A and B are shown apart, each in its own frame.
Chain A
């Protein structure tokens, strides 16, 4: 008998403070357990999400707490979609519309890897904004 998978959809929200990001990771790990994801795949998903949320806190909200960071997770056994939303400053086009080179390791960079990592780990990336704010959509195939 063919198995029919239900599409799942979870909405999470944290305050724009780094201390709260681990709560999102915990929720994502719960989803990973349900999907029986490998540690490797789950680690990649978590890194994508954390880098995206860190970017929101640091750049969209300029490190100001008291703002909403929203993460919607839609998933089925084939693919996980993460939609990270904020109501802060919009990301410059060049950061999301093209694959961003990693900083040169020999220059001993102390940051600037976030979007580059997301581009390397995600199967697709889309950034949009509307009246509700900015939305970074990233997807990862599981199969």
Chain B
């Protein structure tokens, strides 16, 4: 799975470079973000702006990562749109995750 990372202020921004997040890539997604946590990242913004489709198995992987982050950091979902944003709403997981329209909004909201 294509994933690139950079830092923006205190945040590690992980950009998903795929248009599709499904059950075939969910384990790899979980592994790669978990690796960032193992490497010491605690404040992560996950940029989903390139993702046009996501299924519930990938959502489950994100919940698993949210549990790993726990109270010691942040996992903010940025740039979800279309059916990806709808998936969060239908499952009501938009109430559990911190959601932002963009990476800049995510970083700005937390800093503010």
Looking across the interface, which residue of chain A has its beta carbon closest to that of B23? A18
CB neighbours (8 Å) of B56 from chain A are 51, 54, 111, 113-114, 117
Which of the 9-residue segments A42-50, A92-100, A126-134 touches chain B?
A42-50
Could you say which of A22, A54, A108, A110 contacts B20, with CB atoms under 8 Å apart? Answer: A22
Contact of B63 with A108 in the complex, beta carbons under 8 Å: yes
For chain A, give the interface size range.
20 to 34
Chain A binding site: helix, strand, loop or mixed by DSSP? helix
Q: For B104, what are the chain A residues with a Cβ–Cβ distance below 8 Å?
A: none
B60-104 vs A: 1/0 string, CB under 8 Å? 110110110000000000000011001100111101100000000
Label chain B's interface by main secondary structure.
helix
Contact with B along A106-129 (1 / 0, CB 8 A): 101111011011001100000000
Question: Does A102 reach chain B (CB closer than 8 Å)?
Answer: yes
Q: How far is the CB of B18 from chain A (nearest CB, A)?
A: 11
What is A's interface to B at a CB cutoff of 8 Å? 18-19, 21-22, 25, 39-40, 43-44, 46-47, 50-51, 54, 57-58, 102-103, 105-106, 108-111, 113-114, 116-117, 120-121
Measured between alpha carbons, how far is A21 from B56 in the docked complex, in Å? 14
